[in-house]
Amino acid sequence: MAVALPSFLTAIMIMSRLMAFIGITRNNDMSSKLQALDIAPKLSYDPSAIESASQDFGHIVKAVPQAVLLPSSPWDIASLVNFSYSNSVPFSIAARGNSHSVNGQAMAKNGVVIDMTSMKNGNGTGIRIANYLYLTVGGTLSNAGISGQTFRYGPQISNVYEIDVITGTADFVTCSPNNNSDLFYAALGGLGQFGIITRARIPLEPAPKRVKWVRMLYTDFSDFTRDQELLISKNGRNDNKALNYLEGSLLLDQGSLDNWRSSFFPPQDQPKIISLITKFHIVYCLEIVKHYDGQTKTTVDKDLQQLLKGLSYLPGFMFEKDAKYEEFLNRVHSEELKLKAKGLWDVPHPWLNLFIPKSKISDFNDGVFKSIVLQRNITTGPVLVYPMNRKK
Ligand SMILES: Cc1cc2nc3c(=O)[nH]c(=O)nc-3n(C[C@H](O)[C@H](O)[C@H](O)COP(=O)(O)OP(=O)(O)OC[C@H]3O[C@@H](n4cnc5c(N)ncnc54)[C@H](O)[C@@H]3O)c2cc1C
């Protein structure tokens, strides 16, 4: 029987390596004016703070600020913004979460960077957020927040009740879909260009204790995308039987399986996975997660089998892991630690996010994945493929 699918989009994330730097200048006049402000004790000129605020995860752009503000309240931020606004020559201000941007978006050349993580003990938006736990609420709400749960809930910015924003004129504005909605929709996904988010009211749900975590391999791209679409069309619902997480990725023929996402696979199965990749050069990996706890422990395996029924992954290439929820949440960080130990984390990271309509995803596989990413060997970083519903 044919399944009627809603219209789909696929988000693709590609990370690679490249290097470039831009120049540096200093403004002593501004520094002395900053030192006269009431927030002066919270401004840091420490070389290590300046150096850290001059770069980001991308390591492509470098822009040196005059100072770094460590605010303990939104009023400290408003005081700085007000000073810049009323200055004869306003200077740049950038909010910085954990600086996981890739192209200098959280930098302020010759200006002041606001380290939002210094507000994490209050009601600030510098606190960490799930999926990759080292991103911040403010940083992801200023981008979009796409992950393996987007098929169910939409991006993070579609899940916000209300935010407080300090505008460029240093006004405090509370906004929501029904209240100052222009600013609400501009600040969400606004890369900090419409104001600084100092509070966000977002829905939360209880964390499960454990997860069933499954990866399945495909050599046929149509089977892979058809299964992704089938799974998200069946699992948009909010009940206990639905999938909790779905992601896709590419395994490329690069001589070994030693990349930052490979440790999931049991060591004894790695030779046969490497042979598969060597033979087909590109293998598609579908990853799903089902949460469970004490109450659902006895039914989770049956529910999982039900979800996997009818999928077309390669026989013998389905791998399952039972893990603590924290281990799943911290999976990127564990790989980060391994790369750091090899000196491979603090390298340039060009990063491309694209939304591809369902009608073009097959052309994209042939023209980009096979003919560019694989043939020209342009990345050793992850290439992720998230299916999502356009209506979310
Ligand atoms: C390993 C890794 C995994 C990732 N995984 C995902 C993922 O699964 N899904 C996803 O969507 N993204 C992911 N990202 C990308 C991430 O969302 C962006 O890099 C983003 O920049 C968030 O990082 P950050 O919190 O450190 O914010 P920063 O990089 O510090 O800031 C991001 C932008 O937001 C602005 N900003 C920060 N705080 C505020 C604030 N309070 N008010 C207004 N503007 C603010 C900054 O000025 C900047 O423009 C990942 C990044 C890395 C490095």
Evaluate whether 389 touches 8 at the Cβ level (below 8 Å): yes
- pLDDT for 376 equals 87
Distance CA 245, CA 125 (A): 24
Cβ neighbour number for residue 275 with a 10 Å cutoff: 10
**Ligand 1 lining (C-beta closer than 6 Å):** 57, 94-101, 105-106, 116, 125, 131-132, 135-136, 138-140, 142-147, 191-192, 196-197, 332
Distance CA 149, CA 196 (A): 26
Summary count for the chain: helices (H), strands (E): 12, 16
Distance 135 CA to ligand 1 centre (A): 6
- pLDDT for 20 equals 27
- pLDDT for 3 equals 32
Residue ranges in the chain modelled with pLDDT below 70 = 1-28, 121-129, 131, 236-238, 255-261
Cβ neighbour number for residue 25 with a 10 Å cutoff: 7
Distance 140 CA to ligand 1 centre (A): 5
Q: Residues of 155-192 as b/e, b for ≥16 C-beta within 10 angstroms?
A: bbbebbebbbbbbeebeebebeeeebeebbeebbbbeb
Evaluate whether 117 touches 136 at the Cβ level (below 8 Å): yes
- pLDDT for 127 equals 53
Walk me through the domains of the chain, giving residue ranges and CATH numbers: 8-15+207-389 (3.40.462.10), 37-143 (3.30.43.10)
* Structure confidence by residue, pLDDT tens digits, 164-206: 999 999 999 999 999 999 999 999 999 999 999 999 999 998 9
DSSP state of 207: P
Cβ neighbour number for residue 201 with a 10 Å cutoff: 12
- pLDDT for 132 equals 83
- pLDDT for 189 equals 97
Q: What are phi and psi of 229, to 5 degrees?
A: -65, -40
